[in-house]
Amino acid sequence: MSRSERPPLRVLPTTLWEYPSQHYDWRDAEGRLHTMQGDKDYAGATPSWVIWQLLMRYTRETDRVVDPFCGSGTTIDVCRSLGRPVKGFDLAPRRPDILKADARKLPLEDQSVDFVFMDPPYSTHIDYSDDPGCIGKLDAGGDDGGRAYYAAMTKAIAEGHRVLKNRRYFALYVSDSWKKKKGAPAGSGAGTFMPIGFELFAIMRKHFVPVDIITVVRQNQKLDKNNWRKTAVEENFYLRGFNYLFIMKKVDDVVQGVGAHGTTPSRPSR
């Protein structure tokens, strides 16, 4: 069945981002309609319009974009729709245009790219691959207090900083997480909350100047189908209703107080 074309995207004016679908429609130079970026059946795919919004504000046409956790290739497809040169890496590449690499050790020169976008695993909630290096195997609420997960993410963020040119932008899309305590009585709400967003923000702050924090509202219809909303109320836990989108800037030519000292340099222009 044919459907009507979705309206063109517009750059959003506020820090609360919401869009009714995961993907957007666009037409290429030959007039062909493209209705999907990445793979709609891939668990954990980034909403493509989120990446579109970022590229419209923080890149220009010739800017080189990199996604070290490329998954189903959403960033690559969004870059194609906007004419940005792009490289996507993943430990478990699903398409030939995604290169196999660990986000902690990218095959890229220092300061060689203009924008880094990452949507990493948020603890262990999705089984991405059997690769032992998969960060999705590390529990942010595990017995080690999440040390292994945050150590891995510290390396991936530092690598993003290494490959990024000075005065260019870095964005990280992430959600907090919660897991029920094993054997907890129904309705007790006993479990472990993992404030992954704030923890990763603190790690990024050591390398970057914060530009802004966006709340991206999640409209997951699968939750309704699987009765999850009802269960969350009955069992006294929260479903994740939003993702953070942290936007940072590499500013290595200004002496920074780096958070802990409470001073932030004024935001320099490009």
The residues near 185 (Cβ < 8 Å, ≥ 6 apart) are none
Burial 29-44 (b: 16+ CB within 10 A, else e): eeeeeeebbbeeeeeb
3-state secondary structure of 233: helix
With respect to ligand SAM, which residue has the nearer C-beta, 92 or 158? 92
Check residue 2 and report its DSSP letter: -
Tokens of 152: 């891995």
With respect to ligand SAM, which residue has the nearer C-beta, 64 or 104? 104
With respect to ligand SAM, which residue has the nearer C-beta, 72 or 209? 72
For residue 247, the minimal CB distance to ligand SAM (Å) is 16
Rounded CA-CA distance 149/79 in Å is: 29
Closest CA to 86 of 100, 99, 105: 99
Distances (CA, A) of 211 to 2, 195, 208, 250, 262: 41, 20, 9, 10, 16
With respect to ligand SAM, which residue has the nearer C-beta, 98 or 251? 98
Task: Answer whether 239's CB lies under 8 Å from 221's CB.
Answer: no
Closest CA to 158 of 68, 64, 62, 27: 68
With respect to ligand SAM, which residue has the nearer C-beta, 144 or 234? 144
For residue 101, the minimal CB distance to ligand SAM (Å) is 7
Interacting residues toward ligand SAM by CB under 6 A: 38, 42, 44-46, 68-72, 74, 90-92, 102-104, 119-121, 128-129, 133-136
For residue 12, the minimal CB distance to ligand SAM (Å) is 19
For residue 190, the minimal CB distance to ligand SAM (Å) is 27
Q: Tell me what percent of the chain is helix, strand and coil, each rounded to the nearest 5.
A: 25, 25, 55
With respect to ligand SAM, which residue has the nearer C-beta, 201 or 209? 201
Rounded CA-CA distance 199/205 in Å is: 10
With respect to ligand SAM, which residue has the nearer C-beta, 91 or 108? 91
For residue 98, the minimal CB distance to ligand SAM (Å) is 9
Rounded CA-CA distance 73/147 in Å is: 29
For residue 108, the minimal CB distance to ligand SAM (Å) is 13
For residue 150, the minimal CB distance to ligand SAM (Å) is 14
Q: Which residue is nearest to ligand SAM (CB)?
A: 71
